[in-house]
A and B are shown apart, each in its own frame.
Chain A
């Protein structure tokens, strides 16, 4: 049961619905009445090359926020630079371990599905700068498999600016070999319905994970940040922080699950989700789960949902700030905690600017 299967088979019954426990707050079956046709490129020549920014009018709206020597572009489901039909794995290389992945979807009324694989070789420290943007009522399914070899480390920063009418499911599946480490920060503004799902497996020992995210939602947007971390090896660590800011009639969803399998001793896993509701009709749904099958562990989760602290606003106003400014400042500081945890300096600056712009609009 998944959006990608539904897109492939055209079978509406394959769409997850609110009756599926993992999709209770992100219903697709009730929303998608008809599967839109897959996107067809009707031009000539090497389609992906044509789609490169600046050369095709239809994606001019988008300017990638990140700069990197190596950029892979995916436009309306077509991948540039990796072979057209079946892109091979995107492998990081020792000389320039930073890759930008720009995914854009232009126009509406179609569906696209992509599956990409990323590999970080043994012992290498790499950075993946990922951005997603769209400007129409399309249906997008995007799968990313990330494979970290022994001792490898990857920091992944994902900025998502989908269209208000888009329906999007992005699933990444990360496998960590022993002593590998993975850090992820996902920032999103939501869509009509949007699910950003990360599944992480630690079969090896001493793997470490930082898993962060923030959703900044307005109007009738929806965002669902779902994570599943499975500790299979010993001495693993997971530190997770997700923050949300919702206003108008927006709806933020956080589902975090940490599983510690039998024998995964000395696991240390901590999960935190905090959300601010800035308007009467906005909604937050959260389900932070711990499933523990080993006894020698330290696991904790915390969850808070509420409005901005009136005392803090009062304090700021007392110091001469107008109420709007005080609220903006407190909200920015609230989200800032997630961005501060980004290690890559350049990416942190980009993410900060991106978040400030979104919060300004909020």
Chain B
């Protein structure tokens, strides 16, 4: 009950969207619009080698030939790709991440306000034995700082921004970039390949268990700009990593595009745990004006035998969320997991889920999805589970539950199951209901207010997924669940 109390207090203190402020700093922009020159500009800004520029230009050419998809259950006015900035960076950072002392104090203040520890001592200042986590902070199109790099390098773990990786570890980047999500995989991934700005690069060498949680914090600050992050995580044989990702943006009336690509590669016996707390600005709850379009391609390639990738996502923000973190289960006995909470309120729209593609023998996957729709929002679970002829003994269990709060919201479940193998076993179950009146009545009879009672029940509904999050994220996520649902009852 203490957690509920805390949640309620938190709601009382906060506005609906507490990350909606703008940091007033001077910024560098690419000229507005998208052309081959924009691509060259971005590449030049980042001091990239020729091969990277060519890769981008090729992606741009392919993107021009692609058609924007429209199959998702989301509605939005056509995006004018020429009416946006594709590169925005705090003015004059020397190319490459800086030492903390050189970072604009305004930016540091921003991260402090967001509660992200960029000073290593701040992380350490807490309770003795508190878990450490390294942070890569991405501000619009550039990574401003990456913490704990030395400590990580001591065990051979590479954790840096993508731009730095292209300069310092080109052999790894060339080998793996685009190997999980090919350049022309889909419209938005292709756009990202042409104009991607920054993101994180992680390499964990064989047998190393990454000594701390790695995390990236994405912040969109500039107006009328898009953010195109690119993250690549490679975990070698027998290694392990846990990676967290958080996102926020200011409140603005104009929609902004966030088209990211995240690629994970897991070798034999490797384990990757990837957690996301997505809290982009959701737009005005009444008019639906503004907010982020979150069109993201996330995919893990379980190349090695017995490798394991676990995606956990808490999706509370964005005007429109359109993403399917997926696992290609190639290695024999590899395991894919997907735990998701997607909450939509106001006029938000979400079409999210996962793909579990069983290619190897004895591969296993598990999908737990909890969707909550409130207000006038629409929330769709869309997922694919497939077993190919060689995936003998493949197993999947899927559970997706939807909760409806209010008369005007919508909840959809659209699973695809393709079994091309006589020895695959797939199970899927889904339910859609509203909050139980009886349970609400019971909780209120025990003295809880209506809002508290709803939060208690909702927290119970999503508990299975919250448990999968790393501790400090779980607490944050629980609060976020409460805030996202504020004003949805009564």
Chain A residues within CB distance 8 Å of chain B: 21, 262, 275, 277-307
Which parts of B408-457 form the interface with A (CB within 8 Å)?
A: 408-434
Q: Are B412 and A286 neighbours in the complex by a CB distance under 8 Å?
A: no
* CB pair A280 B421 closer than 8 Å: yes
The answer to whether B404 has its CB under 8 Å from any CB of chain A is yes
Q: A285-B418, A299-B431 are in contact. Are A292 and B426 (CB under 8 A)?
A: no
User: Which single member of A280, A281, A287, A295 contacts B406 (CB below 8 Å)?
Assistant: A295
**Contact with A283, one of B406, B413, B418 (Cβ below 8 angstroms):** B418
Residue on A nearest B382 in the bound complex, by CB: A289
B389 interface residue per 8 A CB criterion: yes
The one of B71, B412, B417 in contact with A285, judged by C-beta atoms closer than 8 angstroms, is B417
User: Top 4 A-B pairs ranked by shortest CB distance?
Assistant: A306-B425, A295-B404, A303-B428, A286-B417
The interface on chain B, measured as residues whose beta carbon lies within 8 A of the other chain's beta carbons, has a size of 34
Grouping DSSP codes into helix (H, G, I), strand (E, B) and loop, the A interface class, with mixed when no group exceeds half, is: strand
Q: A290-B430, A306-B424 are in contact. List 13 more A-B contacts (CB 8 A).
A: A262-B408, A281-B389, A287-B416, A288-B428, A290-B412, A292-B410, A295-B404, A295-B434, A302-B428, A304-B425, A304-B426, A305-B417, A305-B425
- Residue of B406, B423, B432 touching A290 (CB-CB under 8 A): B432
Give chain B nearest CB distance to A279 CB in angstroms. 5
Q: Are A299 and B432 in contact (CB under 8 A)?
A: yes
Which chain A residues lie closer than 8 Å to B429 at the CB level? 300-303
* Measured CA separation A283–B420 after assembly (Å): 4
User: Contact check: which of A21, A277, A298 meets B433 at CB < 8 Å?
Assistant: A298
Chain B residue nearest to A299 (CB atoms) is B432
Q: How far is the CA of A307 from the CA of B433 in the complex (A)?
A: 31
Q: Is the interface of B mostly helix, strand, loop or mixed?
A: strand
Residue of A nearest to B416 (CB): A287
**Do A278 and B422 have beta carbons less than 8 Å apart?**
yes
The answer to whether B425 touches A301, judged by C-beta atoms less than 8 angstroms apart, is: no
Interface status of B402 (Cβ within 8 A of chain A)? yes
Task: Please indicate the chain A residues that have their CB under 8 angstroms from the CB of B424 in the complex.
Answer: 277, 305-306
The answer to whether A295 touches B405 (Cβ under 8 A) is: yes
Residues of B within 8 A of A (CB): 71, 389, 402, 404-434
- The answer to whether residues A279 and B432 also contact, given A289-B412, A292-B410, A295-B404 and a CB cut-off of 8 A, is no
Most chain A beta-carbon neighbours within 10 Å: one of B402, B405, B411? B411
Q: B407 contacts A277, CB within 8 Å?
A: no
Q: Which residues of A contact B405 (CB under 8 A)?
A: 295
- For this complex, 8 residue pairs linking A to B, each with C-beta atoms less than 8 Å apart, are A275-B419, A278-B422, A284-B418, A284-B419, A291-B414, A293-B410, A303-B428, A305-B425
Closest partner residue, chain B, to A286 (CB atom): B417
Cα(A277)–Cα(B389), bound, Å = 12
Nearest chain-A residue to B432 (Cβ)? A299
Q: Are A299 and B433 in contact (CB under 8 A)?
A: yes
A300 x B422 contact (CB < 8 A):
no
CB-nearest residue of chain B to A269: B432
CA–CA, A288 to B432, complex, Å? 13
Docked CA distance A285–B385 (Å)? 10
> Please, how many angstroms separate the alpha-carbon atoms of A35 and B407 in the complex?
48
Checking B71, B408, B411, B425 against A292 with a beta-carbon cut-off of 8 angstroms, the contacting residue is B411
What's the Cα separation between A295 and B432 when bound, in Å? 9
Contact between A294 and B422, CB atoms less than 8 A apart: no
Minimum C-beta distance from B175 to chain A (A): 34
User: For residue A251, which residue of chain B has the nearest CB?
Assistant: B420
Q: B419 touching A283 by the CB < 8 A rule?
A: yes
Most A C-beta atoms less than 10 A away, residue of B406, B415, B417, B425: B417
Chain B residue numbers with a CB within 8 Å of A280 are 389, 421-423
Closest to A285 in B: B418
- Contacts A296-B434, A297-B432, A297-B434 given; indicate if A303 touches B413 (C-beta within 8 A): no
Q: Please determine whether B412 and A307 come into contact, CB atoms closer than 8 angstroms.
A: no
Tell me whether A295 and B418 are in contact (CB under 8 A): no
Min CB gap B332→A, angstroms: 18
Asked if A307 contacts B430 (CB within 8 A), the reply is no
Q: Which residue, A288, A295, A301, has most C-beta atoms of chain B within 10 A?
A: A295
Indicate whether A305 sits within 8 Å of B419 (C-beta atoms), given known contacts A290-B413, A292-B412, A293-B410: yes
Min CB distance, A186 to chain B, in Å? 20
A281-B389, A292-B410 given; A307·B422 CB < 8 A: yes
